[in-house]
Structure 1
Amino acid sequence: MTHWFLFLLFSSAAACDLCVHQSKASFVTSVSALTSGACGYGSFAISLSGGNLAAGVSSLYKGGAGCGACFQIRCKDPKLCSSEGAKTWLTTAWPETFTNKGSLGHWNSMTMSRKYGAVWGTNRVPNGALQFRFVVTSGYDGKWIWAKSVLPADWKPRVVYDSGVQITDIALESCYPCDYDGTW
């Protein structure tokens, strides 16, 4: 039996790379449009940021790594929107396997693979409470992040548990920052 874990690691790191991404946006008025999505949040996504959600182009979606990132959207036409813009969460797969070690009194290493977006799965699920540790990488460096909350001993598959993780580091990419000349 395969168990999937939905990690809600809302990352400003993916959003705050200071790169300007030219794209197009649309407004969706129906909550039914949120019943799915590439990130796997489903209808839970409506509770993020007051429902300010977005689908991302490939440079923002980043094969699912951009899921949960917060972006500030600004438009060029002042007749259509204000200069302040709006903040939105990226909610809408690419398999990749990472092996990490966790410690909750003892070491137990297991392989997990990304199913899609923020959803990870494994065929080897230990019994009892679980704590997760992640390594976040950018360029050549990595930083270990511990989930503040432990999954309870009686955890259930397909139930959302808040990891308590908020990544605030900035991962710079090779592009000009949005304020390189002081204007948009």
Structure 2
Amino acid sequence: MSFPTRNYYSLLCALTLLPALSYCQDYFVPSRASYYGSPDCLGNPTGACGYGEYGRTINVANVAGVSRLWRNGTGCGACYQVRCRVPNHCSDDGINVVVTDYGEGDRTDFILSTRAYGRLARPNSAAELFSYGVVDIEYKRVPCQYPGYNLLIKVKQQSKFPNYLAIVILYQAGSYDITSVEVWQEDCKEWKGMRRAYGTVWDIVTPPTGAMNFRVQVSGGDGMKWVTINKGIPNDWKAGVVYDTSVQL
């Protein structure tokens, strides 16, 4: 018996979902989603990605925690189109969410912010969706879009100038995953790898002096590539400050 090519490709995408989801973004994957409550319906300021306040409000607070899609923090910053599958209550297009946290539920792939969960619904149907608590959904990877924004580097508050540097990269556009970050060591004339501390926070002990050049390894549907960020942070960098790289993915 022949096996239709479309069905075979869908199966292949499902089998390779975790390492190569961005290659399969033409197909929706069935799953379940729930939500976590907050007084202001925004995201979690202590989310496991390390985004802080950015993780609460980015994408008009359409944010989510994920479990299988977490991938040890590599999944941070990825965008997904999520639409629910409850008859008569769900909007046709659903919403696009940004992964800013880790979260597990009752066989769920997404724990949505309260605001995002409500936006899955048709007008006047949000209350019905909230009454379910957990709903069937389907999702697919989509490019993140941040018109007018370059990649930003935030120096984390725990950094200690000049002996310890921890950074997080914000406004990661497109369908790329950040898999490695390196900083240029001028005295040795070589790239020195930074450690993934947790989520999408990268750190280094005794960082180079002077304005720092970084390179970021990203992977996506067109393979892997390195993106160079010249003078990503100045020689007098300060903890808590966000620096514009003038680079876009």
SS of 2:31 mapped into structure 1: coil
Instruction: Provide, for residues 40-94 of structure 1, a one-character-per-residue CA deviation record: whole Å limited to 9, x for no partner.
Output: 1122212311111100122x1111101011111111114332010101110009x
- Give the direction of change, closer, same or farther, for the CA distance of 1:14–1:158 in structure 2 (3 Å limit): farther
Query: In the alignment, which residue of structure 1 is the partner of 2:44?
Result: 34
CA distance in 2, matches of 1:159, 1:49: 21
CA distance in 2, matches of 1:24, 1:119: 26
Using CA pairs under 8 Å that are at least 6 residues apart, name the structure with larger relative contact order, 1 or 2: 1
- Give the direction of change, closer, same or farther, for the CA distance of 1:57–1:73 in structure 2 (3 Å limit): same
Whichever residue aligns with residue 91 of structure 1, its letter is T
Structure of larger gyration radius = 2
Please tell me the root mean square deviation across aligned C-alpha atoms, in Å: 3.4
How many angstroms does 1:100 deviate by? 3.9
How many angstroms does 1:131 deviate by? 2.1
Whether contact under 8 Å (2:49, 2:101) holds in the other structure is yes
Query: In the alignment, which residue of structure 2 is the partner of 1:176?
Result: none
CA distance in 2, matches of 1:28, 1:15: 29
CA distance in 1, matches of 2:230, 2:21: 21
Query: In the alignment, which residue of structure 1 is the partner of 2:5?
Result: none
Compare 43-52 and 14-23 and name the one that shifted more. 14-23
Gaps of 5+ in 1: 1-12, 168-184
- Give the direction of change, closer, same or farther, for the CA distance of 1:132–1:166 in structure 2 (3 Å limit): same
Higher helix share: 2
How many angstroms does 1:23 deviate by? 2.7
Whichever residue aligns with residue 115 of structure 1, its letter is A
> 127, 130, 137: which one pairs with 2:212?
130
Higher strand share: 2
Structure 1 vs Structure 2: percent identity of aligned residues?
34
Query: In the alignment, which residue of structure 2 is the partner of 1:114?
Result: 196
- Give the direction of change, closer, same or farther, for the CA distance of 1:34–1:101 in structure 2 (3 Å limit): closer
CA distance in 1, matches of 2:45, 2:32: 24
State how 1:1-184 maps to structure 2 within 5 Å: 17-18=24-25, 20=29, 22-26=31-35, 28-31=37-40, 34-58=44-68, 60-92=69-101, 100=182, 102=184, 107-137=189-219, 141-147=223-229, 150-163=232-245, 166-167=248-249
- Give the TM-score of the pair, scaled to structure 2: 0.50
- Give the direction of change, closer, same or farther, for the CA distance of 1:69–1:99 in structure 2 (3 Å limit): closer
CA distance in 2, matches of 1:127, 1:99: 17
SS of 1:154 mapped into structure 2: coil
CA distance in 1, matches of 2:230, 2:34: 35
Compare 33-42 and 155-164 and name the one that shifted more. 155-164
Whichever residue aligns with residue 77 of structure 1, its letter is V
Gaps of 5+ in 2: 1-19, 103-178
Whichever residue aligns with residue 100 of structure 2, its letter is T
Query: In the alignment, which residue of structure 1 is the partner of 2:16?
Result: none
